Amino acid sequence: MRPVLLQLYRLGVLFAVAWLVRAHHARLRAEGDAPVRVGEVTGWFTNAAELQLDLEARGGFRVRDRDGAELGYLIRTLPQADRIIGYCGITDTLVALDREGHVLGFKIRKSEDTKTHVGDVMDDRHFKKTWNGMTWEQVAGMDLKNAGVEGVSGATMTSMAVAEGIVHRFRVAQGEMRPPTFRVGLRDCGLVAVVVLGVWLTFTKREGRERWRRWFQWVVIGYVGFLNGDLLAQTLLAGWAKSGVAWRMAPGLVLFAAASFAVPWVARRPLYCQQLCPHGAAQEVITRLAPVRWRVNVPAALDRALRWLPGLLLLFVLSVVMLPLEFDLAGLEPFDAYIIRSAGIATIAVAIAGLLAALFVPKAYCKYACPTGALLEFVRARGTGDKFGRRDLAAGAMLLVALAMHWLHAAIHAWVFGAAA
């Protein structure tokens, strides 16, 4: 009975923290729902002086000049598109239309998605012109797939969420209440195939398993890592906790993540860390290639001290998410480095350092620095001898921290930012 209760406790802590993050961000969003300012539209309407709320069904803003003459119309995708989550968060987009009702362009006001992906979307001139010149009816009636809208390379989910959000908002304005599209693509099928193969390799006892596993590692590095960039990371998990899980835009990735948590929780096997993580696989490949004489034995005291780091990083992530701080969580882990085009310097540095460390200490990054690995390890069952350990105690303490940050948000925020000012 004890192992079952422990597993329920671990799952409960995980869901409770995720729920608190979600509730906290829903509150922050409602409290800080930034109104649209005239300055945001002068790129389209140079003489704009006033945004007049349109109380009709379209629910946008009439853009007027100093004399009250109408220059055009503005529409905002939130809150109507708040169920459309890209890679890891919702996006608030503005669309401008001229007086005749033709789209002039769009811009992202605010996004909870990965910053680099959002930057890629706004830098893509071709994507930015997708709706230019279209009428209300054309945008509302648009089928993105048939129209050949494929998103921005390296930021596909973020850009497709922006596209879905715009079309959805126009449909709502036209009085259509169609739910946002559920998208299943080749990428989702590929990820499901990877999960199935990974599960098979995890449980099979067939001869030659290790040989197959080594081949599979190249698939994981090349396909999951470099081609898709579908790695579990704190940015992704924190984003899903804040905005909701992106099951409409990325069902394959959701299943991939669900299997990565469910298999170790039920069956003790670390599916993701053993089979599916491109960075774990890359470290193993590097360790195999390095001469054995390079191996370094980490002194026991240093080993014990370093093993605290992943847990401390999780606490840091929680603080960044709950306060919230302007800190790009992608820079904390190496995973975004696999999306070479948009990876930040910090991410690349962490990735290279982790791979170099693997030359001397097998899976050094996994053991001493990976918060995502620590989270997956926390939920992993440990069999009949399992007992309430330091990790469980730390997780309970983290839940209390999250609770305090939620309930005492105003005081903590004032203390932190007041002290920093």
Contact residue for ligand SF4 among 14, 41, 139, 370 (CB under 6 A): 370
Find the shortest distance in angstroms from Cβ 415 to ligand SF4.
Answer: 33
Per CB under 6 A, contacts with ligand SF4 among 26-45 are none
Beta bridge partners of 95: 75, 106
Largest CA distance in the chain: 81
Residue 71 as a binder of ligand SF4 (CB under 6 A): the answer is no
| Residue placing its CB nearer to ligand SF4 in the complex, 86 or 280 | 280
End-to-end CA distance of the chain: 52
Residue 198 as a binder of ligand SF4 (CB under 6 A): the answer is no
Residue 244, sorted as left (phi over 0), alpha (psi -120 to 50) or beta, turns out to be left
| Residue placing its CB nearer to ligand SF4 in the complex, 49 or 227 | 227
Per CB under 6 A, contacts with ligand SF4 among 231-270 are none
Helices (H), ranges, 32-155: 115-123, 125-128, 136-140
User: 158 burial class (0-12, 13-18, 19+ CB within 10 angstroms)?
Assistant: buried
**Cβ(366)–Cβ(373) below 8 Å:** yes
Residue 238, sorted as left (phi over 0), alpha (psi -120 to 50) or beta, turns out to be alpha
What is d(CA 235, CA 87) in angstroms, rounded to the nearest whole number?
9
Residue 271 as a binder of ligand SF4 (CB under 6 A): the answer is no
What is d(CA 387, CA 392) in angstroms, rounded to the nearest whole number?
9
Applying CB under 6 A, which part among 168-176, 194-202, 235-243, 367-375 lies near ligand SF4? 367-375
Count of residues engaged in binding ligand SF4, rule: CB under 6 A: 9
Question: Which letter does DSSP use for residue 102 in this model?
Answer: B
Residue 75 as a binder of ligand SF4 (CB under 6 A): the answer is no
266, two tokens: 């039920």
Taking CB positions, which residue lies at the least distance from ligand SF4?
373
Applying CB under 6 A, which part among 145-153, 167-175, 294-302, 368-376 lies near ligand SF4? 368-376
| Residue placing its CB nearer to ligand SF4 in the complex, 23 or 312 | 312
Find the shortest distance in angstroms from Cβ 85 to ligand SF4.
Answer: 22
Applying CB under 6 A, which part among 35-43, 60-68, 169-177, 271-279 lies near ligand SF4? 271-279
What is d(CA 215, CA 194) in angstroms, rounded to the nearest whole number?
12
**Cβ(91)–Cβ(112) below 8 Å:** yes
Find the shortest distance in angstroms from Cβ 405 to ligand SF4.
Answer: 25
Contact residue for ligand SF4 among 73, 131, 365, 368 (CB under 6 A): 365
What is d(CA 307, CA 303) in angstroms, rounded to the nearest whole number?
6
Residue 280 as a binder of ligand SF4 (CB under 6 A): the answer is yes
What is d(CA 309, CA 275) in angstroms, rounded to the nearest whole number?
23
Beta bridge partners of 51: 63
Find the shortest distance in angstroms from Cβ 339 to ligand SF4.
Answer: 16
Residue 372 as a binder of ligand SF4 (CB under 6 A): the answer is yes
Residue 225 as a binder of ligand SF4 (CB under 6 A): the answer is no
Residue 373 as a binder of ligand SF4 (CB under 6 A): the answer is yes
Applying CB under 6 A, which part among 37-45, 89-97, 321-329, 362-370 lies near ligand SF4? 362-370
User: 293 burial class (0-12, 13-18, 19+ CB within 10 angstroms)?
Assistant: exposed
| Residue placing its CB nearer to ligand SF4 in the complex, 63 or 351 | 351
Single-letter amino acid code for the residue at 178: R
Residue 381 as a binder of ligand SF4 (CB under 6 A): the answer is no
- H/E stretch holding 110 reads strand 103-111
Residue 347 as a binder of ligand SF4 (CB under 6 A): the answer is no
Contact residue for ligand SF4 among 48, 273, 318, 379 (CB under 6 A): 273
Contact residue for ligand SF4 among 277, 339, 343, 395 (CB under 6 A): 277
Applying CB under 6 A, which part among 178-186, 289-297, 370-378, 399-407 lies near ligand SF4? 370-378
CA 177 vs CA 53, 94, 142, 174, 413: distances in Å: 22, 20, 15, 9, 39
> What SS3 state is found at 57?
coil
Find the shortest distance in angstroms from Cβ 22 to ligand SF4.
Answer: 23
What is d(CA 74, CA 37) in angstroms, rounded to the nearest whole number?
11
Find the shortest distance in angstroms from Cβ 230 to ligand SF4.
Answer: 13
Contact residue for ligand SF4 among 219, 366, 398, 405 (CB under 6 A): 366
What is d(CA 374, CA 364) in angstroms, rounded to the nearest whole number?
13
User: Which residues here bind ligand SF4, judged by CB under 6 A?
Assistant: 273, 277, 279-280, 365-366, 370, 372-373
